[in-house]
Structure 1
Amino acid sequence: MVTKSWLYDATIYIYALSLLFYFSDFVGPNRSAKRMGTGLLSFVWILQTVYLVVNLVWHDRSTAFSMFETLFMLSWLLVTVSLVVNRFFRIELFVFIVNVIGFTVLALNFFSNPKVSPTLASWNINDEVLFIHISFSLASYVAFVVAAVFSGMYLFLHRQLKEKKWTKLMQRLPSLDKTDYYSFVSVVIGTPLLLFGMSLGVVWISLQHDLTLFFDPKVINSWFVLLAYIFYLFQRLLLKTPGYKLALWNLAAFFIMALNFVFANFYSSFHQWS
């Protein structure tokens, strides 16, 4: 059973990694990222197909399909459709959105099934959902911290250049273009990771059967954080907003994210750390 659990976890992580590459290609056309995303998604499809075939072979034909089998087939079909669309129509946004839904369905299906739970007495399936949820969320926070640091460097360099102040420190920092680009890449990495983490958070709340948790201050603020970074990407990619304003907005988004820690310790009913 533990082996199966690791297989499920590996599928979830590989699925998330494939979507990370797809998101990277969507915000900035990158053939290498798209190939990696397609390859990883194809591997997820192979794992799902093998699992599905084995279950169909051993399925008791005198009984109807269980909810687990039905949802698993739904997730498999979503991956299949997305791969077909990616191959023949090349609609990257469609592929990404469909697979975010497929990822959420697969995670909810795995972690709501008691048979997926490891055999360790001190570790239950809800803990496992939280572990992966926290892993993605922390990784996204790291990416956003990196983005904020580069945005701060951008604002410092911009001000120094505008005032025509040349210092040795400036020579040791990347150019404006590079700091802007590095900040952008960090947000591109952090945004889908936060989305995956929040998707698993939705799964965890669903397993608790307490819908009031959806209105927890930290949960609500997390949506504002996600929207803030999505709006950053919208400004950069579609509005072509100048780097100075983007850096300011990036720091503002980081400030909203920092509020999550305040909400966690003082206002959240289930995200308290101390």
Structure 2
Amino acid sequence: MVTRSWLFDAMIYMYALSLLFYFSDFANASRSAKRMGTGLLLFVWVLQTAYLAISLYGHLTEWAFVRSDVLFMFSWLIVTISLIVNRFFRIELFVFFVNVLGFAILALNIFGNPYVVPIKSDWDINDELLFIHISLAIGSYAAFSIAAIFSGMYIFLHARLKSKNFSQAVMRLPSLEKIEHYTYLSVIIGGPLLLMALSLGVVWVVLEGNRNLLYDPKVINSFFVLAAYAFYLFQHKSMRISGNKLAVWNLAAFCIVVLNFVVSNLVSDFHGWIWS
């Protein structure tokens, strides 16, 4: 069954948005974020169920399922289990990570399916996968940039308050508590976006059939970026550490982002197009 990819693109973006809300619920125990994440994931499940039913009906006369059906059923089962767990248990982090796996499997199924036709006629289906991968990565870099700006504001304001230098610029800034909250919120958005972008990047490498690309400097450094921000979130949630030290760590993590964007792109085998 030949299908235009716009339906799957919508499914992928809704899936990604639901994961953002789920992670926000884990980080802040927000009931509204959990409801939004559950609602979006339920809608993804409905779309998956409808497509799977139509696809399986078309294969009733065949002896075995094709690979795309198996992968789609696996992704559908992961979403189903996560919805059940989310309904009866409070294991938000489990739901988030199991759905990151489901997200990657869904992408592998969609973009590895020869019957899925790209929206643009002059595109290859892998071009569409790269477009989604890049859009998620850019979103994560934007969120990390905002977090770095807030951290710089925090360090500036903390130093001025400590020295009792109450200038006009200091009076116009938000409180330290608000700045720290905005920084944390930005990282909560950027972290999952980068994780999903990396998962799609791995899917692209698998479809390309050249696993040596996983050892590319930019790919390796991207995992260091993810680890740096994961440690920031761990410090914020589980360790008694001052806001000023958290802000310094966040700026250090952003330096790895800059290193990833500038240096890695110059030596990367397949990310050099950014500078061309």
Normalised to the residue count of structure 2, the TM-score between the two structures is 0.96
Q: Is contact 2:18-2:36 (8 Å) kept?
A: yes
Q: Which residue matches 2:183?
A: 183
SS of match in other structure, 2:141: helix
8 Å CA contact retained: 1:134, 1:197: yes
Letter in 2 for 1:156: F
Shift of 1:172: 1.1
1:120 Cα offset (Å) = 4.3
1:256 aligns with 2:256: yes
The code of the aligned residue for 2:147 comes to: A
Letter in 1 for 2:51: Y
Which stretch shifts more, 128-137 or 47-56? Answer: 47-56
1:144 paired residue number: 144
TM-score (norm 1): 0.97
Pairwise CA distance, 1:94 = 1.1
CA change 1:157–1:201 in 2 (3 A) is same
Query: 1:2·1:118 contact (CA, 8 Å) conserved in 2?
Result: no
Structure 1 contact 85–95 (Cα < 8 Å) conserved: yes
CA–CA distance in structure 2, aligned partners of residues 12 and 78 of structure 1: 15
Which residue number in structure 2 is paired with residue 203 of structure 1? 203
Cα distance in structure 2, aligned partners of 1:205 and 1:59:
29
Distance 1:153 1:88 in 2: 42
Range 253-262 or range 51-60, more displaced = 51-60
How far 1:121 sits from its partner (Å)? 4.4
Q: Match of 2:93?
A: 93
% identity of equivalent residues: 61
Alpha-carbon separation, structure 2, partners of 1:120 and 1:18: 26
Cα distance in structure 2, aligned partners of 1:7 and 1:27: 31
1:214 and 1:232 map into 2 onto residues whose CA distance is 25
Amino acid at match of 1:234: F
1:19–1:37 contact (8 Å) kept in structure 2: yes
Runs of 4+ in 1 over 3 A off after TM superposition: none
SS in 1 for 2:48: helix
Amino acid at match of 1:128: E
Tell whether the 8 Å contact from 1:2 to 1:119 is kept in structure 2 after alignment: no
Three-state SS of the structure 1 residue aligned to 2:4 is: helix
Give deviations 1:173-204, integer Å, cap 9, x for gaps.
Answer: 11111111100000001100011111111111
In structure 2, what is the Cα distance between the partners aligned to 1:7 and 1:22? Answer: 23
Contact 2:3 2:116 in 1 (8 A): no
Given that 1:72 and 1:106 are in contact with CA atoms closer than 8 Å, whether structure 2 keeps it comes out as yes
* Structure 1 residue aligned with 2:79: 79
CA-CA distance at 1:3 after TM superposition: 6.5
Which SS does the other structure have where 2:96 is aligned? helix
Corresponding position of 2:126:
126
1:24 counterpart residue number: 24
Query: Aligned with 1:258: secondary structure?
Result: helix
Q: Secondary structure at the match of 1:114?
A: coil
Decide whether aligned partners of structure 1 residues 153 and 120 sit closer, same or farther in structure 2, where only a CA change above 3 A counts.
Answer: closer
Q: Deviations over 1:223-253 (max 9, x none)?
A: 0000000000000000132100100000000
Give 2:225's aligned residue.
225
- 1:9–1:163 Cα change, 3 Å: same
| Kept after mapping to 2: 8 A contact 1:111/1:117 | no
Shift of 1:116: 1.1
Q: Structure 2: which amino acid aligns with 1:252?
A: A
How many residues align? The count is 274
- The answer to whether the 8 A contact 2:107-2:200 is kept is yes
Q: 1:135 — aligned with what? A: 135
Closer, same or farther: CA 235–121 of 1 in aligned 2, 3 Å: same
Q: Residues 153 and 179 of structure 2 are in contact (CA less than 8 Å); yes or no, is this contact kept in structure 1? A: yes
